[in-house]
Structure 1
Amino acid sequence: MFFISLFFPVAALAATPTNFDVDFKKISAAPLSPAQGISFEKLRGKVVLVDFWASWCTPCKEALPHYNRLYKAYKDKGLVVIAVNEDDDLKERDAFLKGQKFDFYIYQDQDRKMLGEFKVQALPTLYVFDKNLKPVTFYRGFGPDKPALLEKTIQDLLK
Structure 2
Amino acid sequence: MKYLLLSFALFIGGLSHATEPLSGPAPDFTLKSRDGKNIRLSDLRGQVIMLNFWASWCGPCRQEMPLLDELSKRYSRAGFTLLGVNVEQDTAAGEKYLQDTPVSFPILWDPTSTVSKLYNIDAMPSTVMIDRDGNMRYLHRGYKPGYEKDYKKQIKELIRE
Q: Shorter chain as normaliser: what TM range?
A: 0.7 to 0.9
- CA deviation after TM superposition for structure 1 residue 41, in Å: 5.0
Q: Which aligned runs of 4 or more in structure 1 are off by greater than 6 angstroms?
A: none
- The amino acid of 1:29's aligned partner reads L
Higher normalized helix content (fraction of residues) = 2
Instruction: Give the root-mean-square deviation of aligned CA atoms.
Output: 2.0
Q: Please state whether the residue corresponding to 1:137 is helix, strand or coil.
A: strand
- CA deviation after TM superposition for structure 1 residue 99, in Å: 1.1
Q: Equivalent pairs: percent with the same residue?
A: 25
Q: Please state whether the residue corresponding to 1:56 is helix, strand or coil.
A: coil
Q: What do the CA deviations read for 1:72-100 (whole angstroms, capped 9, x no partner)?
A: 00101000001100123433222111112
Match status 1:17 vs 2:20:
yes
Q: Please state whether the residue corresponding to 1:17 is helix, strand or coil.
A: strand
Match of 1:27 in 2: 29
- CA deviation after TM superposition for structure 1 residue 43, in Å: 1.1
Match of 2:135 in 1: 134
How many corresponding residue pairs?
Answer: 143
- CA deviation after TM superposition for structure 1 residue 42, in Å: 3.9
Match of 2:60 in 1: 59
CA distance in structure 2 between the partners assigned to 1:80 and 1:19 by the alignment: 19
CA contact (8 A) 1:57 1:124 kept: yes
TM-score by length of 2: 0.80
Match of 2:71 in 1: 70
Higher RCO (C-alpha 8 Å, min separation 6): 2
CA distance in structure 2 between the partners assigned to 1:41 and 1:97 by the alignment: 26
TM-score by length of 1: 0.81
CA contact (8 A) 1:29 1:110 kept: no
CA distance in structure 1 between the partners assigned to 2:50 and 2:19 by the alignment: 18
CA distance in structure 2 between the partners assigned to 1:37 and 1:74 by the alignment: 23
Gaps of 5+ in 2: 1-17
